[in-house]
């Protein structure tokens, strides 16, 4: 028997845990701990533990598929490439858009944006980061000059106060949750701000159960209380920041008095007061936040408020502190770093900057898309649905917008308006079903590459088995397609490492990295030179703004886009559970995970259930202005009265049938988190 252990990193969440794949007779059969990995020290959550189960599932795509008369027919790679090339050549650059993926490697993503810009010459390249964390990038860039998580994962255990807002850390980033437990053991106090009494909230010393969408109000209220009591860090404010007076003008307004904030947020004044005191008086306070802050039209405001309160209390640039935006997917940081965004090349070099444009055109040795930002993912879907004919072809790698984008009917309408859709995935997803051509991709265990976790750590994937059937690594598909389209000179790579060499060459943050240097535990960017060991904590001496000072950027609280009314009387919010990831293409094909949580539900407070006459487990009808679904009720005190919650993983009760597609004008992120909902009993016999 031939058994090997191949070290790799987890394909699920942005924590980026390391583990070994157990390979027996050339097939992956298990996961074994990798004790020395600095992120997780050998520990894993259930998704990591069972990350091998979907790999050899019978549903894996093994051959290209071409749709003929409404049905998929297996095809050769040659025929698939020819069809795609012929079709793409028939469209103008602005008629094509590409969606890259937070789930695939840096090498895969880098080549997709290069293929979009250098072969298709289209500026329209984006990915789901615009559904997830754009407000982090925009909000933190305004205050600190840079948008990444400031400290490292291990550093969280050094905090004396951990303030968690809009992150269900214990379910969504469980191995970061472990650091919170370690901090507690070291004497830290934990404060959780959430509308639901989540697994995370249950670990906290102080739980502020508030109304969704009132984050800015609570943060401004806490800042007023801190300033009133003189708890602000005067030395830090003086030495490292500017515009403190502007902050005071806003947060000292009567609207943000404790009494008012209590009314807006539904949290007792005493709890807000105590939170402000615990926060400001601790030696080191860290903030953890995630998408419930960012996936709202008011997302940038909340992120700015978080940055403001950390500067006010001097909790930046030192151990146990920081603004720790927990990025969601395994490689969402990397997909952004690689330039899979409509406004930047890799390393956040602006496409509209003529110097950056020339640098990339020279490096790639060809003409590239004009230097103006293209459409974001939400704009792409809106244009498809509402302006038929403007965009004609779409190439999606590793995303499943039918289940994951808000307002599914709107997404479906958009995809149906396309003349030509290519989907490159490892499974025939709900979105792939709409494609004209489906290309079978190799999964994380079947290819070499790198991915970048939430603490900016670039780590390796190592090939452990061959892909099933004729499936190929995503980066390889782009090389072959580029060749078919006559652009082989710009895509000369023989392996993933050669792609990484080019990434390092053109991407300042990655310049000092090589595959050899990434062994064994990865490197955190910025790593500008070959002798740099990377950067665990950002902004230790100065911020990344032009003058090095942090800029207080006060914001006023604004209500969510759609608030409850007589017809839709409850606040609706959505999210994830520990056993499943997103549209569930992988977790629902992992026997153990699927067995734990086989379908969805809606969480309803007992008082609301009583007034609606609904019992636990009863199937109910849930509707919004967009659509309706039928789903079992979970009656639980863990959710605030007046608020309803659904996980969004399940196609049979898809939460995004209900959500609203409104955009933040600044960041183009959508409001997949909050809208107004109605819940009804289904009459017997109906
Ligand atoms: N198991 C699992 N882990 C995951 C994922 C997954 O699908 N499954 N997805 C990954 C990805 S891509 C992401 S982006 C992250 C998401 O990570 P999180 O954002 O932590 O997860 P969510 O469940 O989306 O929501 C977090 C919490 O915000 C609360 N909340 C709802 N509305 C509001 C509000 O208005 N304000 C505040 N402050 N809180 C609110 C919800 O009740 C919920 O408890 O998780 C990553 N990890
Ligand atoms: N209502 C609601 N909607 C949400 C959210 C929410 O909390 N509530 N969360 C949002 C968030 S935070 C995010 S990040 C998005 C996620 O949105 P998506 O990224 O669309 O969701 P996934 O299900 O992760 O889709 C990834 C696809 O990639 C495929 N895949 C995996 N590995 C590979 C590979 O190596 N190569 C290729 N080619 N394909 C691969 C998978 O099979 C899957 O089909 O959803 C968003 N939607
Ligand atoms: S915490 Fe995230 S990265 Fe770690 S094992 Fe779980 S899903 Fe994978
Ligand atoms: Mo995400």
The SS3 of residue 323 is strand
What are the backbone angles phi and psi of residue 662, rounded to the nearest 5°?
-115, 150
What mean pLDDT comes out for the span 179-194?
96
Asked whether residue 565 is domain-assigned, the answer is no
pTM of the model: 0.94
CB pairs under 8 A, 24+ apart, for 17-22? 17/43, 17/44, 17/45, 17/48, 17/175, 18/459, 18/521, 19/44, 19/48, 19/51, 21/52, 21/445, 21/464, 22/52
Q: With beta carbons less than 8 A apart as the criterion, state whether 638 and 196 touch.
A: yes
CATH number, domain with residue 495: 3.40.50.740
Judge if 32 and 118 occupy the same domain. Answer: no
Last residue of one domain, picked from the residues 325, 342, 377: 325
Closest CA to 311 of 229, 396, 242: 242
Judge if 311 and 209 occupy the same domain. Answer: yes
| CA nearest ligand 3 atom 5, residue | 48
Q: With beta carbons less than 8 A apart as the criterion, state whether 159 and 284 touch.
A: yes
CA distances from 344 to 275, 340, 373, 476, 576 (A): 39, 8, 8, 23, 30
Q: To which residue do tokens 């703004």 refer?
A: 545
- Angle CA(530)–CA(535)–CA(539) in degrees, nearest 5? 135
pLDDT digits (tens, 9 = 90+) for 636-674: 999 989 999 999 999 999 998 988 887 666 656 555 567
Q: With beta carbons less than 8 A apart as the criterion, state whether 333 and 147 touch.
A: no
Residue 175 neighbours by CB under 8 Å, 6+ apart: 15, 17, 39, 40, 43, 44, 45, 48, 153
| pLDDT of 114 above 70 | yes
| pLDDT of 25 above 90 | yes
Chain mean pLDDT for the chain:
93
Judge if 505 and 438 occupy the same domain. Answer: yes
* pLDDT band (50, 70, 90) for residue 543: confident
Residue 404 in contact with ligand 2 by CB distance below 6 A: yes
Asked whether residue 539 is domain-assigned, the answer is no
Residue 7 has which token pair? 């070290």
- Going from the Cα of 108 to the center of ligand 2, the distance in angstroms, rounded, reads 16
Asked whether residue 537 is domain-assigned, the answer is no
Residue 14 in contact with ligand 2 by CB distance below 6 A: no
- Going from the Cα of 213 to the center of ligand 2, the distance in angstroms, rounded, reads 24
Judge if 215 and 289 occupy the same domain. Answer: yes
d(CA 21, CA 418): 40
Q: With beta carbons less than 8 A apart as the criterion, state whether 427 and 3 touch.
A: no
pLDDT digits (tens, 9 = 90+) for 152-175: 999 999 999 999 998 999 999 999
The SS3 of residue 634 is strand
d(CA 140, CA 327): 14
Asked whether residue 560 is domain-assigned, the answer is no
Judge if 227 and 101 occupy the same domain. Answer: no
| CA nearest ligand 1 atom 12, residue | 328
User: Which of 7, 8, 10, 582 to probe ligand 3 with, by most ligand atoms within 8 A of CB?
Assistant: 10
Asked whether residue 55 is domain-assigned, the answer is no
Closest CA to 39 of 453, 526, 320, 461: 453
- Domain count for the chain: 4
Asked whether residue 544 is domain-assigned, the answer is no
CATH number, domain with residue 576: 2.40.40.20
Judge if 385 and 475 occupy the same domain. Answer: yes
d(CA 604, CA 637): 8
Q: What is the DSSP letter of 116?
A: I
| CA nearest ligand 1 atom 3, residue | 172
Give the pLDDT of residue 479: 98
| pLDDT of 374 above 70 | yes
Largest CA distance in the chain: 73
Q: With beta carbons less than 8 A apart as the criterion, state whether 281 and 163 touch.
A: no
Q: With beta carbons less than 8 A apart as the criterion, state whether 83 and 438 touch.
A: no
Give the pLDDT of residue 134: 64
| pLDDT of 361 above 90 | yes
d(CA 431, CA 467): 22
Q: With beta carbons less than 8 A apart as the criterion, state whether 20 and 47 touch.
A: no
Asked whether residue 444 is domain-assigned, the answer is yes
d(CA 607, CA 614): 10
Judge if 126 and 99 occupy the same domain. Answer: yes
Give the pLDDT of residue 101: 97
Judge if 312 and 347 occupy the same domain. Answer: no
What are the backbone angles phi and psi of residue 45, rounded to the nearest 5°?
-90, 175
| CA nearest ligand 2 atom 29, residue | 398
Give the pLDDT of residue 664: 62
Q: Specify the range with the lowest mean pLDDT, choosing from 257-261, 291-295, 484-488, 548-552.
A: 291-295
Asked whether residue 41 is domain-assigned, the answer is yes
CB pairs under 8 A, 24+ apart, for 36-39? 36/520, 36/521, 37/520, 37/521, 38/154, 38/521, 39/15, 39/153, 39/154, 39/175, 39/453, 39/455, 39/457
| CA nearest ligand 1 atom 39, residue | 166
User: Which of 399, 578, 622, 653 to probe ligand 2 with, by most ligand atoms within 8 A of CB?
Assistant: 399
Return the exposure string of 598-618: e unless at least 16 CB atoms fall within 10 Å of the residue's CB, then b.
Answer: eebbbbbbeebbeebebeeee
| Ligand 1 binding site (Cβ under 6 Å of any ligand atom) | 13, 132, 165-168, 171-173, 193-196, 198, 212-213, 215, 290-293, 328-329, 573, 575-576, 578, 580-582, 673-674
| pLDDT of 46 above 90 | yes
Judge if 20 and 127 occupy the same domain. Answer: no
Judge if 151 and 288 occupy the same domain. Answer: yes
| Ligand 3 binding site (Cβ under 6 Å of any ligand atom) | 10, 12-13, 15-17, 40, 44-45, 47-48, 173-175
Give the pLDDT of residue 211: 87
Residue 413's domain comprises 65-131+330-524
Judge if 466 and 579 occupy the same domain. Answer: no
What mean pLDDT comes out for the span 89-112?
98
Last residue of one domain, picked from the residues 325, 355, 390: 325
Element (H, E) at 239: helix 234-240
| pLDDT of 563 above 90 | no
Q: Which atom number of ligand 2 is nearest to the Cα of residue 129? A: 14
| Dihedral sign from CA coordinates of 384, 393, 444, 323 | negative
Pairing of strands 619-623, 628-635: antiparallel
User: Which of 17, 31, 39, 452 to probe ligand 3 with, by most ligand atoms within 8 A of CB?
Assistant: 17
Judge if 500 and 360 occupy the same domain. Answer: yes
What mean pLDDT comes out for the span 12-30?
97
In the chain, what percentage of residues exceed pLDDT 70?
96
């Amino acid at each position: 028997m031939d058994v090997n252990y191949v070290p790799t990193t987890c394909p699920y969440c942005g924590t980026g845990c390391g583990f070994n794949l157990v390979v027996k007779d050339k097939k992956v059969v298990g996961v074994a701990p990798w004790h020395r990995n600095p992120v997780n020290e050998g520990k894993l959550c259930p998704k990591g533990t069972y990350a091998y189960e979907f790999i050899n599932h019978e549903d894996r795509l093994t051959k290209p598929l071409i749709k003929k008369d409404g049905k998929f027919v297996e095809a050769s790679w040659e025929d698939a490439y020819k069809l795609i090339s012929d079709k793409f050549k028939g469209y103008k650059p602005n008629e094509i858009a590409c969606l890259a993926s937070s789930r695939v490697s840096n090498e895969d993503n880098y080549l997709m944006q290069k293929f979009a810009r250098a072969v298709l010459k289209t500026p329209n390249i984006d990915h789901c980061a615009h559904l997830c964390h754009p407000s982090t990038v925009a909000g933190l860039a305004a205050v600190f000059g840079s948008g990444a998580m400031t400290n490292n994962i291990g550093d969280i255990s050094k905090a004396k106060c951990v303030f968690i807002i809009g992150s269900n850390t214990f379910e969504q980033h469980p191995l970061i949750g472990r650091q919170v437990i370690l901090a507690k053991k070291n004497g830290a106090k934990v404060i959780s701000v959430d509308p639901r009494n989540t697994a995370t909230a249950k670990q906290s010393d102080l739980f502020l159960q508030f109304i969704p969408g009132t984050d800015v109000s609570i943060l401004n209220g806490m800042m007023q209380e801190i300033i009133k009591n003189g708890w602000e860090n005067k030395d830090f404010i003086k030495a490292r920041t500017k515009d403190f007076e502007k902050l005071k003008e806003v947060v000292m307004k009567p609207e943000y008095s404790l009494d008012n904030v209590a009314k807006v947020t539904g949290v007792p004044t005493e709890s807000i007061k105590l939170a402000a005191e615990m926060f400001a008086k601790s030696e080191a306070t860290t903030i953890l936040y995630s998408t419930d802050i960012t996936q709202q039209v008011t997302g940038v405001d909340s992120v700015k408020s978080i940055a403001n309160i950390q500067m006010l209390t001097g909790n930046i640039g030192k151990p146990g502190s920081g603004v720790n935006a927990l990025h969601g997917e395994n490689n969402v940081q990397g997909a952004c770093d690689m330039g899979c965004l409509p406004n930047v090349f890799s390393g956040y070099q602006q496409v509209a900057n003529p110097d950056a444009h020339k640098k990339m055109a020279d490096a790639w040795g060809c003409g590239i898309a004009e230097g103006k930002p293209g459409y974001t993912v939400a704009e792409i879907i809106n244009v498809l649905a509402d302006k038929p004919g403007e965009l004609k072809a779409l190439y999606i790698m590793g995303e499943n917008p039918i289940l994951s984008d808000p307002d599914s009917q709107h997404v479906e309408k958009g995809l149906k308006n396309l003349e030509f859709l290519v989907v490159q995935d490892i499974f025939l997803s709900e979105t792939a079903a709409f494609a004209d051509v489906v290309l079978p991709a190799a999964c994380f265990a079947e290819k070499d590459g790198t991915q970048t976790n939430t603490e900016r750590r670039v780590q390796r994937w190592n090939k452990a088995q061959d892909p099933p059937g004729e499936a190929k690594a995503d980066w390889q598909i782009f090389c072959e397609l580029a060749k078919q389209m006559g652009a082989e000179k710009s895509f000369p790579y023989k392996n993933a490492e050669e792609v990484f060499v080019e990434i390092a060459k053109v991407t300042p943050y990655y310049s000092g990295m090589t595959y050899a240097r990434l062994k064994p535990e990865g490197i955190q960017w910025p790593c500008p030179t070959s002798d740099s060991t990377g950067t665990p904590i950002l902004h230790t001496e100065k911020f990344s703004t032009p003058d090095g000072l942090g800029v207080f950027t006060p914001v006023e609280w604004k209500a969510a886009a759609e608030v409850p009314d007589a017809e839709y009387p409850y606040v609706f919010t959505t999210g994830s559970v520990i056993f499943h990831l997103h549209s569930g293409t992988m977790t629902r094909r992992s026997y153990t995970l699927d067995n734990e949580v086989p379908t969805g539900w809606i969480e309803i407070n007992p008082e609301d259930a009583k007034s609606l006459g609904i019992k636990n487990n009863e199937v109910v009808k849930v509707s919004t202005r967009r659509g309706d679904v039928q789903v079992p009720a979970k009656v639980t005190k863990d959710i605030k009265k007046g608020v309803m919650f659904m996980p969004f993983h399940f196609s049979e009760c898809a939460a995004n049938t209900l959500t609203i597609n409104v955009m933040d004008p600044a960041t183009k992120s959508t409001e997949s988190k909050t809208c107004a909902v109605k819940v009804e009993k289904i009459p017997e016999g109906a």
